[in-house]
């Protein structure tokens, strides 16, 4: 691990021996608005910086939850588009078969017409030659079998075409619903993010720095309480070979910007980072934190080992990767970078293990 990463790990665990910087107390009011109404110290609008932090954090969390809904709808849309394409190819194949069968049926009808329209059985009994009669019996049976077989294939092919039409109609309806859900989720995401960014942009430079420190202070406090439970004495230590590769990938992404919906290689959102890390390790996992929580094998927090994914908040709207020693790596939110943080710095919903056997 690099010096920078090691330093970040120590800070994340709240174990730094360096004297603490004095942070704004939760109830400390922000600077008074300037006479000109600008943001030169008046970006909090008379509220405490902690109140601004809580609103910004809440907005980004809601946006992150909506992001999961957006990503899931996008995945479903992609699957439905593939299903429709598969149906279309099957329809083309069935239509070609139907055309061939109709051509054969037409040829048989024309042959019967050339025979005077008389059924093969009638012509057979009018034949006076015994040898020709026996040969004719065999040919007539074969002709009947061919006719029945052709009619049966025509019926089955038509049934298949009707079924494909119904399936295509259903998939189109699902696709429309997915598109509508995706559009609604995206609108909600952009609205929440724009609101949070407006709040932050109104802050003066020193207020933005104090806001960052408030976030870090809150995270350190939560991590300290988590560590006070003695959890480190219970946690597993050794990663599997695959888990180790996932952790190494995550470490290599430290310092890269969080970008909504990004899956690398230069920017990530929280679940985009964990998905790519495990993909690099050789395991495909779901795209969103909510689907990672729903579909991946769950393990107890006290049994988690490096490479496991920690799912946060009751709605499973955030995810980080446990890297050992009580720390995790995650992509926090817009305006922040992929970083090391305390595994207990946010409310833990549970832990999942992509390489569980």
Q: Is 148 a catalytic residue?
A: no
Which among 262, 210, 348 is positioned nearest to 70, based on CA atoms?
262
Active site residue 11: no
Residue 34: closest CA among 207, 198, 195: 207
Q: Is the peptide bond before 265 cis (omega within 30 degrees of 0)?
A: yes
Cα gap 33→39, rounded to integer Å: 7
Q: Which residue has the tokens 């008389």?
A: 118
Q: Which listed residue (53, 318, 333, 353) is catalytic?
A: 318
Tokens of 220: 């350190």
Contact 321, 309 (CB under 8 A): yes
For the chain, give the number of residues: 357
Q: Smallest Cα–Cα separation from 339: which of 57, 6, 13, 8?
A: 8
Selecting among 270, 281, 321, 331, the annotated active-site residue is 270
User: What is the end-to-end Cα distance of the chain in Å, rounded?
Assistant: 28
Chain-centroid distance, C-alpha 176: 19
From 53, 220, 256, 330, the catalytic residue = 330
Q: Is 270 a catalytic residue?
A: yes
List residues with catalytic annotation. Answer: 270, 318, 330
């Amino acid at each position: 691990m690099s010096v920078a990463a090691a330093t970040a790990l120590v800070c994340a665990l709240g174990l730094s021996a360096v004297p603490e910087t004095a942070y704004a107390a939760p109830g400390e009011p922000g600077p008074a608005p300037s006479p000109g109404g600008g943001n030169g110290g008046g970006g909090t609008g008379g509220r405490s910086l902690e109140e601004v932090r809580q609103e910004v954090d809440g907005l980004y969390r809601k946006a992150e939850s909506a992001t999961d809904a957006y990503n899931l709808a996008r995945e479903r849309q992609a699957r439905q588009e593939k299903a429709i394409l598969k149906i279309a190819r099957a329809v083309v194949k069935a239509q070609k078969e139907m055309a061939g069968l109709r051509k054969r049926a037409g040829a048989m009808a024309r042959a019967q017409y050339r025979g005077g329209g008389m059924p093969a059985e009638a012509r057979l009994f009018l034949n006076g030659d015994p040898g020709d009669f026996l040969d004719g019996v065999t040919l007539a049976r074969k002709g009947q079998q061919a006719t029945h077989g052709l009619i049966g294939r025509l019926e089955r092919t038509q049934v298949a075409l009707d079924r494909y039409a119904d399936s295509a109609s259903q998939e189109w309806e699902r696709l429309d619903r997915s598109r509508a859900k995706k559009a609604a989720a995206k609108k909600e995401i952009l609205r929440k993010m724009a609101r949070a960014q407006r709040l932050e942009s109104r802050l003066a430079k020193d207020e933005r720095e104090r806001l960052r420190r408030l976030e870090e202070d809150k995270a350190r406090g939560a991590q300290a309480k988590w560590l006070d439970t003695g959890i480190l004495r219970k946690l597993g230590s050794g990663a599997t070979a695959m888990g180790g590769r996932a952790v190494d990938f995550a470490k290599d992404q430290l310092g890269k910007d969080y970008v909504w919906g990004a899956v690398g290689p230069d920017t990530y959102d929280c679940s985009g980072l964990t998905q790519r890390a495990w993909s690099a390790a050789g395991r495909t996992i779901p795209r969103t934190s909510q689907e990672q929580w729903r579909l991946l094998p769950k393990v107890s927090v006290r049994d988690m080992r490096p490479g496991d994914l920690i799912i946060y908040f009751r709605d499973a709207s955030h995810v980080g990767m446990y890297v050992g020693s009580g720390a995790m790596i995650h992509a926090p939110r817009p305006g922040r970078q992929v970083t090391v943080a305390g595994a207990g710095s946010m409310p833990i919903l549970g832990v999942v293990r992509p390489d569980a056997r």
